[in-house]
Chains A and B, each alone.
Chain A
């Protein structure tokens, strides 16, 4: 049955941190359900360690209708694509396995999206990073803030948590990177570039926050940074005519 929203949560080796994460995400899911929004949840365990599998599978807030996929693709992009492939919602929201969201995050995103007609990607209004450092930033809204595609070559202005109609992810799937093997990385930055190149607009949902856990090591971003990974080729940065 088609739902309003499919939430894709990807786990790797988050261990016990996945517990708090799922508590937060499923609290937001329950609030959306209470507001009459049909939400289904896909949990992708990609090469997850035993502790993470145990925490996720045994989480007390699971309702039993969540889809749990255990995979061994070993790549963030492929793991997300895998989850998205199982999505049935009108909308898809991606979340990472060690963060938190504001309680009305999912409800507000859906309500905002229902009012939207254009080709949009939604992001939380605020990202509050905690852990290794504590800071918050307002995410960039292409409509209401100064924006230039020129900034995309230097900086990824959005966190990896995104929300869009499901067909957007089919139109622009995440690019597998395998950073250790290829030197490519930052699949979320790349996806943002690709969606901009494809004509999508990135806007923020007021009153929503994403709580991003900053870790000294073990996160995809710190791994990318340590490897000095490079974003794969993007349509935003030039195409050449091969004759």
Chain B
């Protein structure tokens, strides 16, 4: 040990340590890591010496294969390598199997979690479509992450939900991917569909060819995210190019992103299926005069993160001091958005907490719904706002143009003045409010019925089981006449 420590000290360059401390410390740590790795191997594998009979055998065979011996004609260069006795992944796999059970599942949906959100709502629509066409007992939902899933009780009855992420715990991504892949390879379901599960995307990336031999693979994508430099990032950017050949279809809830990804990534446009989410809640169209009741108020609801632009909300609220703003939403993990403190301080802004249902936060005083954002697919909250009869003021980003005509939308999501102008127009003109409301009702009615959703799914090869043919009993037909 003393020899090793003195060996380490001998390797340290104290001059480097002073002039380039990070580089030198990194070099020292790398050296220690190598030593520890070697120590761990020797400790774990034991028996580091070449058996004498093996050495003799190598020498005897060296005239046939000189590569068996080192350059000095000896066997000193052989290191012992122990077979790793790694059982933890196998144990976890058995626990997953115990949860999954022994009955075959034909359809597997892989989600990271089930929380209050648009993608989660979409996942439930897919589950509902499945349960309408095959027994619920044939459907398996795998929650790949360990996050809480408050919407788990919305999963249709009889559908099995397995908390894969909880079972594997803190296992590294590579291990999770291998276990998920093994499970899917073994189970061979007819359909494997992922919505926003990184573990599943990684599985598709590394093993998509193998998985697609016995299953059809599907994925849902909605839009890009953007990093701090507004560079597009997300599942589409990370995985589409390597996975699309293995995917039977890629569902997207809007028409904009398939074109964008085809153009920017080169993924064939035909790989995508535009699947509009249905609006499944009752729509009672309001026919009132939409007159202003008291001080006009504007509703804002969403996440307080940089995508949803609380800074634009702040600028708009500051520019309209005589208008009340009801702000509903939840903060996301991490530091609070800098605009939030100022928003709380504005006298015309009331910051409320989270909400369960959109219709619960709409009041007769609201003249419009302000939706600020930098990038989007087609947020389902706009469907809720439309159903509630509340005129929407939103930017022309992502799939929003599928629902609201571009002429009404704010062209630049950074243009606070344009948002103010649209809100002022709404406040000043009841006829405009009624007109916007009716156009939104019309948009909601166009292609967003449940039957439209299932019709699109039925057209996708292999996604839903073939409908059982209904054969008319001729004799009964005759007797009915």
Partner-B contacts on A (CB < 8 A): 20, 23-24, 27, 100, 102-103, 126, 128-131, 134-140, 146, 148-155, 157, 182-184, 207, 209, 211, 213, 228-234, 237-243
Contact = CB atoms under 8 A, between A and B. Distances in A.
Contacts of B103: 240-241, 243
Interface in B93-112: 93-94, 97, 100, 102-105
Contacts of A209: 54, 57
22 contacts: A20-B64, A20-B65, A24-B61, A102-B57, A103-B61, A130-B65, A130-B68, A131-B67, A134-B78, A136-B78, A136-B79, A137-B82, A138-B82, A150-B91, A150-B93, A151-B84, A153-B89, A153-B179, A211-B58, A237-B97, A238-B100, A240-B102
A100 B61 CA distance: 9
B90 A151 contact: yes
Contacts of B82: 137-138
A22 to B, nearest CB: 10
A20 B94 CA distance: 44
- Looking at chain A's contact residues, is the secondary structure mostly helix, strand, loop, or mixed? mixed
Given A151-B87, A211-B68, A238 B78 contact: no
Given A239-B102, A241-B104, A157 B60 contact: no
A241 B138 CA distance: 11
Nearest to B48: A136
Contacts of A24: 61, 64-65
A58 to B, nearest CB: 17
Nearest to A180: B209
A203 B355 CA distance: 63
Interface string B180-222: 0111011110000000000000000011111111000000000
Contacts of B51: 126
B173 to A, nearest CB: 14
- For the complex of A and B, list the 9 residue pairs with the smallest distance between their C-beta atoms, beginning with the closest: A150-B90, A183-B209, A183-B210, A150-B87, A240-B104, A230-B210, A135-B81, A242-B104, A137-B81
B43 to A, nearest CB: 15
Contacts of B84: 151, 154-155
Nearest to A214: B67
Contact of A154 (B54, B78, B89, B187): B89
B78 A228 contact: no
A124 to B, nearest CB: 10
A131 B65 CA distance: 11
B4 interface: no
A211 B80 contact: no
A136 B81 contact: yes
A16 B404 CA distance: 71
B85 interface: yes
Q: Interface extent on B, as a size class?
A: 35 or more
A36 to B, nearest CB: 22
Contacts of A151: 84-87, 90
A149 B87 CA distance: 8
Contacts of A139: 83
A209 B89 CA distance: 30
B267 to A, nearest CB: 20
B97 A238 contact: yes
Central interface residue in A130, A136, A151, A207, by most chain B CB within 10 Å = A136
Contact of B65 (A102, A154, A211, A238): A211
B53 interface: yes
Contact of B54 (A128, A140, A234): A128
B64 A150 contact: no
Contacts of A137: 45, 80-83
Contacts of A140: 83
A228 B94 contact: no
A232 B185 CA distance: 7
A126 B54 contact: yes
B77 interface: yes
B54 A136 contact: yes
B34 interface: no
Contacts of B188: 233
Given A126-B54, A130-B67, A182 B213 contact: yes
B246 to A, nearest CB: 9
A153 B78 contact: no
A182 B210 contact: yes
Nearest to B65: A20
Interface in B26-61: 45, 47, 50-51, 53-54, 57-58, 60-61
